[in-house]
Chain A
Amino acid sequence: MTDTTKQPANARIEPSKQGYWAGVARDGNKMGFWFVLPTLLLLLFIVIFPLLMQLYLSVTWWTPLEGIPWYRAWEVFSWGENYWFQLTDPRVWGALWRTILIMIIAVPAQFFLGMALAYLFMDNFPGRKVFYSIMLTPMMIVPAVVGLMFFLLFQGTGPVNAHLGLPSTFSWLTDVNRAMISVIIADVWQWTPLMFLILLAGMLGVPSDQLLAARLLGGSNWQNFLKIILPRMKAVIIIALVLRAVECFKIFDLIFIMTKGGPGVQTETISLFLYKQTFGEFEWSYVAAIGLTILFVLSLIAAKGLAYMAKKNG
């Protein structure tokens, strides 16, 4: 009791072991059970059972078109050939590559733009509040609507071509290379604000006395940024990048509305590919297999990442 130095920083949230909370271990658990129950039921409903079903379907040839109910999918057992097939399917690898391409271009772009913006908004200036609200708007707009907005902008007869003095035959969304560029621009437009918001919160969390001291000591703005601000934002930066990377991997709405994955498969990401397999080809067992593989790989990455973070934090 005397040694308080060993208390973790967030000790306040640990229930004190006196009074009310002493009884928690006894009857509080019973009470708490009822609090957790609805969530547990939802999780059971949406995780355990569907996972088993997905595993089951993925080792068959089952599709919803042949009139076999899903529980009799064993009649078309495939010995897991779906798993083998996905490894040699160029469309899977293509979609994966394009997803990663969008990720490695869009996320850093959002990061640097967001960082620059956050730096602009670090100090107070007249009109800051208004501009701050404007900056946040894109990420609050329904992604499908953002897709529509950029769909309209990038039409041959849209304002982008008019401004750039390009003819209306100059296409963006149906061009092999520019379709991808358009999609990335739209994603950057929508999600830079998120980076901005998170990074600004982190930047404002840098102790102002340290910053002031550095300024008084004559460090240039750039030096202060590199030596004082950046190192203290490490955790925030990691959070922002991970969040965006995860969301970027899931990207669907924007692309689906802007290009439908086209022209051809030029903007087809993993999600778009899975959607087309689901509703174009109705190869549901194949989608189940690919989905499970993605699940497995992402979980592995997440587990590794968490373990790494835990190790770093001691």
Chain B
Amino acid sequence: MKASPSAVALKYFFVLLASAVVLYPLLWMVTMAFKPHPEWTTVAGLTWFPQNPTLQNFEFIFYGEAEGLVVSLDRTISGPLFASLVTSICGTLLAVVTGTLSSYAVVRFGLAKTLPLSVLQLRLFPPLAVMIPVMVMWAFLGAVDTWWGLSLIYGIVTLPFAFWLMKTFFEEVPVEIEDAARVAGCSYWRVFYRITLPIVKPGLATCALFVFILNWSDYLLALLLTQKEWVTLPVYMATLTSAMGGQMYGMKAALGVIAAIPPVIFGLMIQKHLVRGLTFGALKQ
């Protein structure tokens, strides 16, 4: 059915409007990252694009000091960046491995029928409502401000996503293939490891990227369970002000850009499966 020209124009008008609304805050932060101090605010006039583009914000957070800035930083981005990477990756591994194994058992062996819902419950409650005992435990175990302490909690809170996502991928594997392998004399583990796993490999990759995004995006858990050594990128970004006094808009914006890049790239990579992941497999695209 052919739409009338006016309808098409109207459609583009709304699509462009929506895109503008989406891009407006993003653009302000991204350009802010490349602006020198006087352009951070609109006191000297509103400038959308940096009049004097500079890399000094990035320089500052990477080296702790930059030319033309009197202040310096006692802690550069390298520590938090490393912490974010390590804890996100370890947390992802934990969630994906345990989630894959248990969802396979639920799908194929018909085991633990109540597991899917009890796993899902982990996502129902505000983390802060259940964090007191976790913090006490973590302190007791000496897990506060360690890479494994944070990774462990990341793995646990993203387990529901990994579990449900892998569950839907396993459900798509034809059971006949596994039957055949089994009849041919493969052990259960071999069937899983050599037959099923390779089939769901794309799903596994999707799941890992998805869970990584979630872990990388965390702010609250890192805020509660780290103090200094293993502070992650978002927490570091938020505390940049208080350490220095005065607002460091440009540096924060630079940090924001760095923190935002990996999830956006990964998210666009797994665009096709985002719906499935976000709705715990209830919907597919």
Contact = CB atoms under 8 A, between A and B. Distances in A.
Q: Is the interface of B mostly helix, strand, loop or mixed?
A: helix
B119 A51 contact: no
Contact of A29 (B11, B111, B118): B111
Contact of B171 (A13, A202, A257, A275): A13
Interface in B112-133: 112, 115, 117-119, 121-133
A134 interface: yes
Interface stretch (A1-9, A152-160, A169-177): A152-160
Interface in A235-257: 236, 239-240, 243, 246, 249-250, 252-253, 256-257
Contacts of B129: 270, 274, 290-292, 294-295
Interface in A185-213: 189, 193-194, 197-198, 201-202, 204
A287 to B, nearest CB: 5
A239 B279 contact: yes
16 contacts: A35-B109, A46-B122, A50-B137, A135-B19, A144-B235, A145-B260, A149-B25, A149-B28, A152-B28, A152-B249, A153-B24, A155-B41, A162-B46, A239-B279, A271-B126, A274-B128
Q: Is the interface of A mostly helix, strand, loop or mixed?
A: helix
Contact of B183 (A20, A127, A239, A302): A20
A53 B136 contact: yes
Among A46, A250, A299, A302, residue most surrounded by chain B Cβ atoms (within 10 Å): A46
A282 to B, nearest CB: 11
B46 A46 contact: no
Contacts of B108: 15, 21, 24, 28, 32
A28 B278 contact: no
For chain A, which range describes its interface: under 10, 10 to 19, 20 to 34, or 35 or more residues?
35 or more
Given A39-B99, A140-B267, A150-B25, A50 B134 contact: yes
A32 B105 contact: yes
